[in-house]
């Protein structure tokens, strides 16, 4: 998974989506691809631009710092749009997890949390850290 916050400024690719769709359909989720001539873009960074964050590993200080930075950056960029955090985590460290939880409570935009696999231990605390009416779990997701 790429590390870091999306660099600014960036070109909005909404007008060029007809070019992106066929490319994205053929490439696995975390693979890097060349989208347009002169642009090197990973799919996960495109998700970040759409305000879709993914916690797909054990919670440690690296992923926690990355997600905290993204949440703060995206809330400063536009505090009227919701953030979506997809969780598939077996748990993890307490301090980085609580830091992520506190950041979700602190920012102005609502954070939707979606469990899409398992949310155990610290992952479940982060899951309940989303806005109270905007928590979701897929039908076969495992929460503990």
Query: Which residues does the annotation mark as catalytic?
Result: 121
E-strand stretches of the chain: 32-34, 40-42, 52-55, 83-89, 111-119, 135-137, 142-143
| Residue 4 DSSP symbol | S
Q: What CA–CA distance (Å, rounded) separates 44 from 9?
A: 17
Total length of the chain: 144
């Amino acid at each position: 998974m790429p590390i870091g916050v999306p660099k600014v400024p960036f070109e909005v690719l909404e007008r060029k989506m007809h070019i992106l769709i066929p490319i994205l359909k053929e490439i696995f989720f975390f693979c890097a691809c060349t989208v347009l001539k002169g642009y090197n873009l990973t799919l996960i960074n495109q998700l970040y631009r759409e305000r879709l964050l993914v916690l797909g590993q054990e919670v440690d200080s690296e992923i926690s710092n990355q997600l905290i930075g993204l949440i703060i950056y995206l809330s400063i960029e536009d505090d009227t749009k919701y953030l979506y955090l997809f969780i598939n985590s077996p748990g993890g460290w307490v301090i980085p997890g609580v830091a992520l939880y506190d950041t979700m409570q602190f920012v102005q935009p609502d954070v939707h949390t979606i469990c899409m696999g398992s949310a155990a231990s610290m992952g479940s605390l982060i899951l309940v850290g989303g806005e109270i009416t905007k928590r979701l779990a897929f039908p076969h997701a495992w929460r503990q």
